[in-house]
A and B are shown apart, each in its own frame.
Chain A
Amino acid sequence: MIVVGTICSVLLAITGLLCIVRIVRGPTMLDRTVAADVFVAASAGAIGVEAAVGRHGTTLSILVVLSLVGFLGSVSIARFAAPDTDRSSHDEPTDPEEDA
């Protein structure tokens, strides 16, 4: 089980790092929302792997909270997403009038 825990830790660490790369690079707020969603899912997976390796169920309530908080975060950001709120989108043309 130690081997399984190590492999899963490495994979989930790669996931977290790549999600942080996307959160930093953007370019839009919704990209960051999606990446943060995956980051929350990876955190839930990491807590689950830790509980499975240690064979204990004390952190299961954290998993319930994480699965609900990730939902609330992305829904509230998507609800208030507006065009041109993000000025850092220089590298990809995302002007609404151009695309429409």
Chain B
Amino acid sequence: MIDVIAGALLIGGAAMAAIAAIGIVRFPDVLSRMHAATKPQTVGLLMILAGLGLRLQDLSAITVLFLIAVFQLLTAPVSAHMVGRAAFRTGFAKRDQLTVCELETDDDAA
């Protein structure tokens, strides 16, 4: 039973990665591609790590898995923020696709 749950989590994580890759190829600009990219980075990897933890069932291994999850959850938003800011500041983001642009009048803050 535990193996079934672990297998479902592993397949779910891999499916998240595949869906995100389709988004990476088909979405039109940097910001929407970043939206697709967050799925394997957070949810997908967390599901795979949870499935791995259910398979291993070892306290030291689960500690390392927890560490990986914490690193990923801490670093993914920071890198996404920096990439998005760089995209906006260098003009690579298409501004006509933005519904609300709070940085429009204040480019120095971007």
Report the interface size class on chain B.
Answer: 35 or more
Residues of B within 8 A of A21 (CB): 25
Report the interface size class on chain A.
Answer: 35 or more
Q: In the complex, A94→B37 CA distance in Å?
A: 21
A48–B45 touching, CB < 8 Å: yes
Q: In the complex, A3→B89 CA distance in Å?
A: 46
Q: Which of A4, A18, A22 contacts B7 (CB 8 A)?
A: A4
Instruction: Say whether chain A's binding surface is mostly helix, strand, loop, or mixed.
Output: helix
Q: In the complex, A70→B45 CA distance in Å?
A: 13
B17–A96 touching, CB < 8 Å: no
Tell whether B79 is near chain A: CB-to-CB under 8 Å.
yes
**Known A-B contacts A41-B40, A55-B56, A96-B90; A34 and B21 likewise in contact (beta carbons under 8 Å):** no
A60–B94 touching, CB < 8 Å: no
B21–A14 touching, CB < 8 Å: yes
A45–B48 touching, CB < 8 Å: yes
Q: In the complex, A18→B95 CA distance in Å?
A: 26
Residues of A within 8 A of B28 (CB): 92
**Known A-B contacts A45-B45, A83-B90; A63 and B68 likewise in contact (beta carbons under 8 Å):** yes
A78–B86 touching, CB < 8 Å: yes
Q: Which of B33, B40, B55 contacts A52 (CB 8 A)?
A: B55
B90–A81 touching, CB < 8 Å: yes
Residues of A within 8 A of B94 (CB): 94, 99
Residues of B within 8 A of A57 (CB): 56, 58, 60-61, 64
B10–A8 touching, CB < 8 Å: yes
Within 8 A of A (CB), among B10-47: 10-11, 13-15, 17-18, 20-22, 24-25, 28-30, 33-34, 36-37, 40-41, 44-45
A45–B24 touching, CB < 8 Å: no
* Least CB distance, B86 to chain A, in whole angstroms: 4
